[in-house]
């Protein structure tokens, strides 16, 4: 069987299928929090779901675990002074992209600090 290559073949439902009720509630809560900031769309791919403004993808949900979701915020500079990112890594070969890794374990993890970074990502994509 040939590998699937068209992004049209990926769907949010396929990405969410088989996950725990807790993980699904985290996913939906995170997306709803972003919708309160502004107009976003979800773009499913084989291994992640991109969150985009009308102009650019701004955040990526890269993993749905048994009891968490993992989110990556790409910024042009590192924001080391924070309590919400578990890792900040420069993308190899790209001097202007630093991926900020956020692991959401509970709805309360989307606190004011995280919302500030969500708004910053949104503003950079609009």
**Domain boundary assignment for the chain:** 9-125
- Which pLDDT band, with edges at 50, 70 and 90, does 119 fall under? very high
Is residue 100 a contact partner of residue 114, using CB atoms and an 8 Å limit?
no
- 70-116 confidence digits (pLDDT tens): 999 999 999 999 999 999 999 999 889 999 999 999 999 999 999 99
Mean pLDDT of 6-34: 90
Q: Provide the token pair at 87.
A: 């890792």
Using CA atoms, how far residue 107 sits from 2, 24, 96, in Å, is 39, 11, 31
Residue carrying structure tokens 């976003």: 40
- Which pLDDT band, with edges at 50, 70 and 90, does 126 fall under? low
Is residue 60 a contact partner of residue 72, using CB atoms and an 8 Å limit?
yes
- 101-110 confidence digits (pLDDT tens): 999 999 999 9
Which of 3.30.1460, 3.30.70, 3.30.450, 3.40.1710 is the CATH number of 9-125? 3.30.1460
């Amino acid at each position: 069987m040939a590998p699937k290559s068209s992004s049209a073949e990926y769907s949010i439902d396929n990405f969410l299928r088989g996950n725990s009720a807790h993980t699904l509630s985290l996913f939906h809560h995170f997306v709803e929090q972003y919708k309160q900031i502004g107009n976003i769309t979800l773009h499913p791919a084989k291994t992640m779901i991109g969150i985009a403004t009308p102009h650019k993808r701004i955040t990526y949900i890269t993993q749905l675990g048994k009891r968490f979701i993992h989110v990556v915020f790409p910024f042009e500079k590192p924001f080391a002074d924070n309590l919400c990112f578990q890792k900040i890594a420069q993308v190899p070969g790209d001097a202007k992209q630093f991926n900020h890794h956020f692991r959401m374990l509970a709805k309360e993890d989307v606190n004011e600090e995280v919302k500030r970074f969500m708004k910053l990502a949104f503003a950079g994509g609009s």
